[in-house]
Structure 1
Amino acid sequence: MELRPLRALVEVIRQGGFSQAAKIIHATQPTISKAVRQLEDELGTPLLDRHAQPIRLTEAGEIVYRRALRMLAERDDLYAELDDLKGLKRGVLRLGLPPLGSSSLFAPMFARFRSRYPDIEISLVEHGSRRLEEMVMAGEIELAASLKPLPDNVEWQAVAREPLVALLPADHPQAQAESTRLADLRDSPFILFETGFALNRIIHDACQRAGFAPVIAARSGQIDFIVALVAAGLGVAFLPRLTVREAVHAGVSRVPLQDAGTDWEMALVWRRGGYLSHAAQAWLALTREVYPNAG
């Protein structure tokens, strides 16, 4: 079985269709469609429900898709290990970072890494933490920054631990408080990040422990826009302390959150049992050097 048709199947599902998958793979739509058809013929069963919108996997397709992810990841591990064996100095660090917190934690590291390893290219992708974890498991990236708690199929290295701060409109009853709890904010609409940001789960779980489900007023992936929505009085939002220092707005009060279990804990993750290239190991070593007291 060739890996190319498996890659085609994986991208069709990830991208939600043949034309979108073709753009990612840099092939024509008929080429992608033909590759998936040949795979179905080889296996003797349909893998896709082409009448569904968006297109989805059949029961057999689910099995093949899961196996394909592992096979493609093993292929990438093979190439990386062979490159290291050859002593190549022009490696590639495939790194995933979320928008939240990365500018403060990781941006200063890039210049230092570049000065030490000038011939290592950094291939950077940005998504929410949960999407990055999926990319790690699929072998698309070696390392990703994500938030604890983490799934069992990854290994991890701590980076930072920060308390959360509530962002409140200036006229909110809790705006002048020294600290606040989620229970004190239950009557206020919440402004959360887009789906895929792990911070949402921390907030939802803490609200559940406090005995209520928050009313969601809006979602966004942009910190500046979220802060502006708070200033406009749309609701309350939450950010880790290190990010709040940059989120300054005259119409927003910043009040520490007291609830237990709401700390924002960033870690670098990689696939459990997967191969880490020299470039990835060098990034982990630099992170330990920069953040020696993480955890």
Structure 2
Amino acid sequence: MEIRTLRAFAEVVRQGGFSRAAKTLFATQSTVSKAVRQLEDELGVRLLERVGHHSRLTEAGEIVFHRATAILAEGDDLRSELAEVRGLKRGTLRLGLPPIGSNTVFAPWFATYRSRYPGVEIKLVEHGSKRLEEMVLAGELDFAATLLPVGSEFEWQEVCREPIDVLLAADHPLAQRPRLTFDALAGMPFILYGEDFALSSIILKACREGGFTPKVATQSSQVDLVIELVAAKLGIALLPRSLAEQCPHPLTKRVAIDHPEIHWHRGLVWRRGGYLSHAAQAWLSLAGSPEVLQPSAIR
């Protein structure tokens, strides 16, 4: 079993087909197809079912893909360690950030890191927290910013913790109250975030604990649009306090939630037992530095 055939197979799965995988691997489509066939012949099982222009994993393929990603991640770790032993002067930091709220904490972090380590290339990926966690476990990212707590397969470092408030139209009957309990929101239409965003899971869990299932008016991953929809009286939204304060709107009102309190607890996660390059360790060392701390990070 060769690394090149495992990498070709894994890339076909990740990209959803042979053509895209070939572009990612800088190879021809026939070369990628041949590598996957070679792997199937060697293992004696069919790994992919061809459906039109797309491919989907067989039951055996699921098992092999899981093992292949782990093997490839270990191989990448090995190459990183050997490169640094040889005195690599330039490095690469592979970082995943969710599109919601990352600017409030990580923009100063980027500026400080760049000023200290100008030779390090920063490869930034933006996805929802769940997808970013999968990429960390697959060895595709050094770190991901996500919501805590996380599973035992990760190591993590806290970045910040802050309350989540409810945003209502300014003329809403409850908008003048200083604080609200969560069960007071039952029956109102909610504007939620996409299913890939961990923030939606926090909100839905709080609703269940409050004894109700929210009526969902719509979903969006754009904070500005969520706020405008609240202003247009389409529904209510729950926002981390720093985001609500950063984007004030004259037609909305932010109200604190008294009971139960829910929080946006963010951290950096990495694969437990995985190798962290010097570039990655340098990024991690900035956590808690006065140069990158923001008001939202110390609440």
TM over 0.5: yes
TM normalised by structure 1 equals: 0.93
What stretches of structure 2 of length at least 5 have no aligned partner? none
Moved over 4 A (4+): 291-295
Q: Report the equivalent of 1:7.
A: 7
CA distance, structure 1, for counterparts of residue 78 and residue 298 of structure 2: 31
Contact 2:163 2:261 in 1 (8 A): no
Q: Report the equivalent of 1:152.
A: 152
CA distance, structure 1, for counterparts of residue 235 and residue 277 of structure 2: 45
CA distance, structure 2, for counterparts of residue 287 and residue 215 of structure 1: 38
Aligned with 1:174: secondary structure? coil
Aligned with 1:218: secondary structure? strand
What stretches of structure 1 of length at least 5 have no aligned partner? none
| Deviation of 1:135 (Å) | 0.6
Which stretch of the first structure deviates more once superposed, 76-85 or 100-109? Answer: 76-85
Which stretch of the first structure deviates more once superposed, 21-30 or 223-232? Answer: 21-30
Structure 2 matches for 1:122-271, cutoff 5 A? 122-260=122-260, 262-271=262-271
Contact 2:93 2:123 in 1 (8 A): yes
How many residues of Structure 1 are paired with residues of Structure 2 in the alignment? 295
CA distance, structure 2, for counterparts of residue 80 and residue 206 of structure 1: 42
Q: Are 1:43 and 2:43 counterparts?
A: yes
Q: Which amino acid aligns with 2:112?
A: R
Q: Report the equivalent of 2:94.
A: 94
TM normalised by structure 2 equals: 0.92
Q: Report the equivalent of 2:115.
A: 115
Q: Report the equivalent of 1:56.
A: 56
Contact 1:158 1:294 in 2 (8 A): no
| Deviation of 1:196 (Å) | 1.3
Query: Per the alignment, do residues 175 and 25 of structure 1 end up closer, same or farther by CA in structure 2, a change over 3 Å counting?
Result: farther
Which stretch of the first structure deviates more once superposed, 20-29 or 129-138? Answer: 20-29
Aligned with 1:156: secondary structure? strand
Q: Report the equivalent of 1:22.
A: 22
CA distance, structure 2, for counterparts of residue 33 and residue 234 of structure 1: 50
Q: Which amino acid aligns with 2:12?
A: V
Q: Which amino acid aligns with 1:260?
A: P
CA distance, structure 1, for counterparts of residue 50 and residue 289 of structure 2: 51
